[in-house]
Structure 1
Amino acid sequence: MHALDPRRGIATYQRIRRGGNVGASPPTLLAAGFLSLITIGTVLLVLPAAGAVRGLSLFEAFFTATAAVTVTSLTIVEPQQLSLFGQWVVLILIQIGGLGFVTFAVVSAITLGHRMSLRQQTLALEAFNQTSTARLRSTAVSVLRITVVIEVAAMLLLFLWWWGSGRMPAAQALYNAVFHAITAFNNAGYSLFEGSLQAFVSDTATIGILSIVVILGGLGFPVIVDVIRKRRWSGLQPYVRLMIISGLTLHIAAFLAFWLLEAHNPRTLGALAWADQARAAWMQSVSMRTAGFSTFDMSAIDDSTALLAAVLMFIGGGSMSTAGGIKLGTFVVIMAAVFAFVTQRREVVLMHRTLAPEMVQKSLAVVVVTVLTAVFALLVLTVLEDVAFISLLLEVMAALSTAGLSQALTHQLSTASQCVLLVLMFMGRVGPLTLVYSLATRNRARTRIRYPEMEFQVG
């Protein structure tokens, strides 16, 4: 019997000693890593020292830890209600969860000299958008360096501005700068200020710094690494140029749309001067796709704006970034495929490059799975809650895309609905990488059997 064969036990032990590989698939390891972080965070947050006034219940601690690890700013307990200890726990969970368990796993494996299995290498290559394992080390180290440089630079700029302008004392300015730099780059959207960033709509420096940090966090590490290495537009990879162009285009279009839709709403932008309207609309358009900051009352927006917000959150940020959503690259590929079909082109072409059919299929699978998940979750919430449909739609998209920007409804929902949001947040963070892995390793399931084509009517 194989189960009783001592040689198998010895082989397994030797495999663990050599490479730390216990045979678990990368998606399993990834999910286990996030669950471990959530468990540790829950244990720390349930301690009496975590609450500023009162201790958190077990469910409140679990929800807060899950939201922090998945970098989703949906909250049933505001950061201001946590003690200094509780806020630091949340901040550390955001940093680890935002940078990604895969990044830490790869860096640890390289640093400790452990050999990664073929499965783990496949997932790492997909996650880092690389084709060679030889560049995994340099890319993983670059990710950590970029994170440190951007966050430290943002901390210093925010600290010097808030302290130098007399807005805050030095100690308070430093702490707020550290907290908001980390949450902005990791696209978490947590804020220590009442009303998020509504008090800063007249502050060009604060809006400018935070919006740039959010954009960099949602751009994607492969894009940033290529820009640093090449430093010339003509030398950038077609993918990188396309992500920069499409990202800026989407930001500008969202900015103009938000401004136009809400300019006459006295409860949001209508009561502000035109310059303040521009700053508020810009920050909102930036954070809507990826982060959870808000520069005006989201519960007062029109339904048209709410629908636009749901679409932007659905798209999300760049691949291998701290943002969520289906990813901008996926959206671009789907749009290119639609354009190719409408114009009756046999190949899907982007930047004078032909996309492989597998890339189009992968993008389609990501979109369909995300849409079906969102629809099912929305159906459940409409059954459980007597709340406006558009508000529930924003809540679902905020959780599934890990953008976290809703109409401050989360704490009002029933426990059952909050459990649905917990599942969505976890799926939104772990699900895409798991799906990518399953698609990347589907070659093992291929068969030599080919079936005859069938005529099938669609459209």
Structure 2
Amino acid sequence: MLKQKVLKLSPSQLLFLIFGFFILAGAVLLKLPFSTKQSITWIDAIFTSTSAMTVTGLGTVDTPETFTRIGEIIIAVLIQLGGLGIMSFAVLIYIMLGKKIGIKQRMVIQQALNQINIGGVIKLVKYLFLFSLSIELIAMVVLAFRWVPLFGWKEGLFDSFFHAISAFNNAGFALWSDNLTQFAGDPTVNIVITTLIIIGGLGFTVLVDMFIKRRWSKLSLHSKMMIVSTIVINIVSMAFIFLFEYGNSKTLGPLPLGEKLWTSYFQAITTRTAGFNTIDIGSMDESTIFLFLILMFIGAGSASTGGGIKLTTFLVIGLAVISFIRGKDDVFIFKRTIKPNIVMKSLAITITSISIVVLAVFLLNITEKASFVKVLFEVVSAFGTVGVTMGLTGSLSFLGKIIIILVMFAGKLGPLTLAFLIAKPNKANFKYPSEEVMTG
């Protein structure tokens, strides 16, 4: 009977339940005495578990001061599960056991990895693990060369292991109370962490496409759009952060020129989705805060470990606007036309995302005693699964924590997945007569 009910669930509903189950399981493990140095409340355990599973990085408690080594390992496992996808791990287990993967499971994997077609999802999962574990291992070794001399073998290796997972999965969890501020001018840490963030944020589809085709001319349109737009947005963001914060005595001001550049570069990369920080976010200029809000809302790439509306979604809407202004009927880039249904989907994702953010900001302005900017920043950071904060997370009320938990959950699953939980998509087999409507 239970099996029949599960089979009747849509991929969106099944994904929702699976994520919910693992978040609760993680919370139970984090609440146990062996996971914490000091007792934490259930709501803080659920918040931390949700933040890890959704690869966000926001925390109502200080991670290194609150959790034992076992607790930190549990957080790392939750990050890996959330970043690579629970269904991806399920596929790996099925393959190892020699079991057949049915159409229902493939549809859930397609939904989880945000793929357009159901074909090739199993091969994508195999490549996903090959890439991910190899990249994390390499990063761990490189970081170990830097951190083992500083902290010793035991501490240095674990720090390298934890931060390699956290960075590649764009989680933003760190094992120091000041995050990565102490390494603001460290080239090794900056390069390794940002490289992991960029690779994880490009999306598994792009990584596989690059690995298989290896020539620009043969890459898919999605891959070309992601690669070019990632380079452009990172360079532009770094330049603006450098200019806005150059004279700020509480952030870049006191730093030498080299550290100013490293810090600007690091924050430009991490703010879109990862959530690490090497400067005090709450002390930044308002112009930088506004830039961060835009970057966090845009987020990373589709089928990546990051959140937000996704970079390609933002680009498609921008191209559609430009095409309309130029009087063009079609949206095109790189000598390819983008289908109208993709433009409609991008619009639906953006409007639904804005609606979630607006509702959460409205509710938090009622429950929390904080400025509008801090509330807005917290919500956008949670929705984009970024994890940077202006200091509001630690002082959230019980209701405020629940709201942010729901926003992180919504940001990870995606606005359309949540919409499909309520309304099952159904293509109409008829059309009504068309009529003009005045707009603008």
Matched, 1:142 2:124: no
Paired residue for 1:114? 100
Correspondence 1:457 to 2:438: yes
Residue in 1 that maps onto 2:10: 25
Structure-2 residue corresponding to 1:367: 350
In structure 2, relative to structure 1, the CA distance for the partners of 1:86 and 1:279 (3 Å cut) is same
- Please tell me whether residue 284 in structure 1 is matched to residue 267 in structure 2: yes
What CA distance in whole angstroms lies between the structure 2 residues aligned with 1:215 and 1:167?
26
Q: Does 1:183 align with 2:166?
A: yes
Counterpart position of 2:58? 74
Change (3 A) 1:35 1:437: same
Task: Give the partner amino acid of 1:71.
Answer: V
Q: For residue 349 of structure 1, give the secondary structure of its aligned residue in structure 2.
A: strand
SS at match of 1:167: helix
Residues 13 and 421, structure 2, Cα contact 8 Å, conserved in 1: no
The CA distance in 1 between the partners of 2:354 and 2:278, in whole Å, is: 28
CA distance in 2, matches of 1:439, 1:316: 25
Q: Does 1:446 align with 2:428?
A: yes
Shift in alpha-carbon separation, 1:180–1:216, aligned structure 2, 3 A: same
Letter in 2 for 1:313: M
Q: Would you say the 8 A contact 2:43–2:401 is kept in 1?
A: no
Q: Paired residue for 1:238?
A: 221
Gap change, CA 1:270 and 1:364, over 3 Å in 2: same
Matched, 1:391 2:358: no
Which string of whole-angstrom CA distances, capped at 9 and with x for unpartnered residues, describes residues 362-390 of structure 1? 00000000001101111111122221211
Q: 1:63 to 1:246 in 2, by over 3 A?
A: same
68 and 56 in structure 1: CA distance in 2 versus 1, 3 angstrom threshold:
same
Structure of larger gyration radius: 1
Gaps of 5+ in 2: none
**Aligned CA distance change for structure 1 residues 435 and 55 (closer, same or farther; 3 Å):** closer
Q: Which AA in structure 2 matches 1:149?
A: S
Q: How many pairs were matched up? A: 437
CA contact (8 A) 1:202 1:279 kept: yes
Q: String of CA shifts for 1:433-456, please: whole Å, max 9, x gaps.
A: 6158679973x44132x2222221
**Does the CA-based 8 Å contact 2:382-2:408 persist in structure 1?**
yes
For residue 7 of structure 2, give the secondary structure of its aligned residue in structure 1: coil
1:182 to 1:244, Cα distance in 2 relative to 1, 3 A: same
The answer as to whether partners of 1:324 and 1:429 remain within 8 angstroms in 2 is yes
What does residue range 25-424 of structure 1 map to in structure 2 within 5 Å?
25-52=10-37, 54-80=38-64, 81-109=66-94, 112-117=98-103, 120-125=105-110, 127=113, 129=115, 131=117, 133=119, 135-163=120-148, 166-424=149-407
Task: Quote the offset at 1:130 in angstroms.
Answer: 5.4
Give the deviation of 1:429 after TM superposition.
1.0
Q: 1:269 offset after TM fit, Å?
A: 0.5
TM-score when normalising by structure 2: 0.94
In the alignment, the residues of structure 2 paired with residue 116 and residue 329 of structure 1 have an alpha-carbon distance, to the nearest angstrom, of 30
TM-score (norm 1): 0.91
State the alpha-carbon separation in 2 of the partners of residues 148 and 387 from structure 1.
41
Distance, in Å, in 1 between the alignment partners of 2:350 and 2:399 is 26
Query: What code does the residue aligned with 1:22 have?
Result: L
Query: 2:53 touches 2:79 (CA, 8 Å); kept in 1?
Result: yes
What is the Cα deviation at residue 108 of structure 1?
A: 4.3
Could you tell me which amino acid in structure 1 is paired with residue 229 of structure 2?
Answer: S
Residue identity opposite 1:72 in structure 2: T
3-state DSSP of counterpart to 2:151: coil
Runs of 5+ consecutive residues of structure 1 not aligned to the other structure: 1-8
**Which amino acid counterpart does residue 339 of structure 1 have in structure 2?**
I
Instruction: Give deviations 1:393-446, integer Å, cap 9, x for gaps.
Output: 11000111111111121111211111110110111111346158679973x441
Answer whether contact 2:14 2:108 (CA < 8 A) is retained.
no
Query: Once the 2 structures are TM-superposed, how far is the Cα of residue 129 of structure 1 from its aligned partner?
Result: 3.1
Provide the residue aligned with 1:5 in structure 2: none
Q: Is the 8 A contact 1:27 1:433 kept in 2?
A: no
Is this contact kept in 2: 1:109–1:116, CA < 8 A? no
CA–CA distance in 1 between the matches of 2:340 and 2:107?
19
Q: SS where residue 252 of structure 2 aligns?
A: coil
1:128 Cα shift?
5.5
- Residues 236 and 437 from structure 1, CA distance in 2 versus in 1: closer, same or farther, beyond 3 angstroms? farther
Displacement of 1:38 in angstroms is 0.9
Superimposed CA distance per residue, residues 196-230 of structure 1 (whole angstroms, 9 cap, x where no aligned partner): 11111121111111110111111100101111111
CA distance in 2, matches of 1:274, 1:41: 43
Work out the CA distance in 2 between the residues paired with 1:209 and 1:439: 41
- Report if the CA contact (8 A) 1:334-1:364 is conserved: yes
Q: Is the partner of 1:289 in helix, strand or coil?
A: coil
